[in-house]
Amino acid sequence: MVQTTQIVLASRPSGMPAEQNFRTETVELPAPGAGEALLQTLYLSLDPYMRGRMSDAPSYAPPVRIGQPMVGATVSRVLESTDPALAPGDTVLGYGGWRSHSVEPLRQLRKLDATVAPVTTALGVLGMPGFTAYSGLLTIGRPQPGETVVVAAATGPVGSAVGQIAKIKGAHTVGIAGGPKKVALLKDRFGFDIALDHRAPDFADRLAAATPDGIDVYFENVGGAVFDAVLPRLNPFARIPVCGLVADYNATELPPGPDRLGRFMSTVLRKSLTVRGFIQSEFAPDQFGDFLSEMGGWIRDGRVHYLEDIVDGLEHAVEAFGGLLVGKNLGKLIVEVAD
């Protein structure tokens, strides 16, 4: 019998998740059955969508039940396998959750080759977040050469990929991030044409000055004050892939100030905007293969760069996750669970 140390959801957070909303426990795992493998987690991905799983508000995916381990993508080492295609010692991408060990169906696992790319990239630039950027930008945003593309959370795995893919497609790119360190990275590492700090008191004026020709694609990652500043800058026929609204994930009430829905809908109408929400899994069956080969090529050619923020130890997962929601992470947030 193998034991797993796991972080379970003890209660549903109101506002920012706190340590008391979780419990760490050690339980025995069943032996893997036919079509299953026993895995040791090496790396756990922490992603903003997990905040939604902690809540029982209606969503596109069911919530984590109270007392159940938190879900999450993982890179793991195979300890035991019932299929010759996966041998002990192999490294796989799976969905083991916030746990040191897991038993998972083999059909849910993808074997990784560390000689092709560092295995952690399967959680970021070559994984779900990179694919989110690729599919949402190219399918909904459709940036054309010379157009202006704006994205916030732009040093994160989604936003940084959005900016770099938009640049490859010939667009003029405006990246938005929080604080001087991240803003410097936008230009130096990710090649944005313009870098802006959404925390600056005159952010809306700076955005207006930085977009003299208006905005053709706004890749919506954050919502909140950034969206308020973007809305008046949108050009006729602008496209808005609505990917995430992280500014609101911990909200317990509506934002202060007047109801802005009327102004928003009137802008959608007058400017013939396309506002299209999406969950990346919608596009995966048709596009994930193309994404892996194209993104892999861009990384090899030095046209796409990535940044990872690796936190040591599962015991730091809750604190690190809270930090992600307020921008304390610097790049794709990953927990190193075992060596």
What residue ranges bind ligand NDP (CB under 6 A)? Answer: 47-49, 129, 132, 152-153, 155-159, 177-178, 182, 198, 221-222, 224, 226, 243-244, 246-247, 278-280, 324, 326-327, 329, 333
- Report the alpha-carbon distance of residue 307 to residue 50 in Å, rounded: 21
Q: Which amino acid is at 5?
A: T
Residue number, 17 or 157, with CB nearest to ligand NDP: 157
H or E segment to which residue 296 belongs: helix 284-300
Residue number, 32 or 136, with CB nearest to ligand NDP: 136
- Report the alpha-carbon distance of residue 170 to residue 165 in Å, rounded: 9
Smallest distance from ligand NDP to CB 3, Å: 31
- Report the alpha-carbon distance of residue 71 to residue 9 in Å, rounded: 10
Smallest distance from ligand NDP to CB 48, Å: 4
| CA angle centred on 118, ends 180 and 54, rounded to 5° | 65
Smallest distance from ligand NDP to CB 43, Å: 15
Contact between residue 133 and residue 156 where contact means Cβ atoms under 8 Å apart: no
Smallest distance from ligand NDP to CB 159, Å: 6
Residue number, 115 or 252, with CB nearest to ligand NDP: 252
Q: What is the DSSP letter of 334?
A: E
Residue number, 78 or 162, with CB nearest to ligand NDP: 162
From 41, 18, 150, 151, select the one nearest 93 (Cα to Cα): 41
Smallest distance from ligand NDP to CB 302, Å: 21
Contact between residue 167 and residue 144 where contact means Cβ atoms under 8 Å apart: no
Q: Name the phi and psi angles at 215, rounded to 5.
A: -120, 130
Residue number, 97 or 157, with CB nearest to ligand NDP: 157
Q: Name the phi and psi angles at 302, rounded to 5.
A: 75, 20
Smallest distance from ligand NDP to CB 207, Å: 12
Residue number, 214 or 224, with CB nearest to ligand NDP: 224
Report residue 114 CA to chain centroid gap. 22
Residue number, 109 or 162, with CB nearest to ligand NDP: 162
Q: Name the phi and psi angles at 241, rounded to 5.
A: -70, 115
Smallest distance from ligand NDP to CB 6, Å: 23
Question: Which residue has tokens 């870098």?
Answer: 195
Q: Classify each residue of 16-36 as buried b or exposed e, where b means 16 or more C-beta atoms within 10 Å of its C-beta.
A: ebeeebbeeeeeebeebeeeb
2 strand-pairing partners: 29
Smallest distance from ligand NDP to CB 323, Å: 8
How are beta strands 194-197 and 110-111 bridged, if at all? Answer: unpaired
Residue number, 135 or 148, with CB nearest to ligand NDP: 135
